[in-house]
């Protein structure tokens, strides 16, 4: 037996919701969607293609793990599909982000969000 499952959302703990909103909405261009008041904590949800990105304000005393100190593609990360590698790299660099890149042929690059979470951008290729 196998489960019929598909990715629905990714979630990131954040320290400063407005700073993270500026990144996910302002830099990445995601659209904020309605978020129910759950768990009694602040946050924001965004549409990301068929999935969602959930930002959750982390309580100061909660140990939710730590992102890597530098952008490392081997770290836990979320990946967003993009259509154009060079355009994506140029957009991220214009936003002042340090981009860890491969090349247009491989079509992968990574940045860190304001809380240090590693975010990958990839031009999908048929498998």
The domain spanning residue 125 has which CATH number?
Answer: 3.10.180.10
- Is the pLDDT at 5 greater than 90? The verdict is no
Same domain (yes/no): 93, 52:
no
- Across the beta sheet with 51-57, the strand order is 9-14, 51-57, 43-48, 31-33
Asked whether residue 63 carries a pLDDT value surpassing 90, the answer given is no
- Model confidence at 35, in pLDDT bands (50, 70, 90)? very high
pTM: 0.92
Lowest mean pLDDT among 39-48, 49-58, 60-69, 95-104: 60-69
* Beta strand extents in 16-57 (DSSP E only): 31-33, 43-48, 51-57
Task: Spell out the residues 6+ positions from residue 94 whose beta carbon is closer than 8 angstroms to its own.
Answer: none
pLDDT of residue 1: 77
Domain range for 74: 67-127
In tens, the pLDDT along 74-110 reads 999 999 999 999 999 999 999 999 999 999 999 999 9
């Amino acid at each position: 037996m196998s489960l019929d499952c598909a990715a629905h959302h990714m979630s990131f703990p954040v320290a400063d919701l407005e700073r993270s909103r500026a990144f996910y909405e302002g830099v990445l261009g995601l659209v904020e969607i309605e978020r129910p008041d759950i768990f009694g904590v602040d946050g924001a949800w965004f549409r990301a293609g068929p999935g969602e990105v959930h930002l959750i304000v982390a309580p100061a005393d909660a140990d939710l793990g730590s992102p890597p100190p530098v952008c490392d593609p081997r770290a836990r990360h979320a990946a967003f599909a993009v259509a154009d590698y060079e355009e994506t790299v140029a957009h991220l660099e214009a936003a002042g982000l340090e981009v860890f890149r491969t090349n247009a042929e491989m079509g992968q690059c990574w940045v860190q969000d304001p809380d240090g979470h590693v975010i990958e951008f990839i031009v999908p290729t048929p498998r």
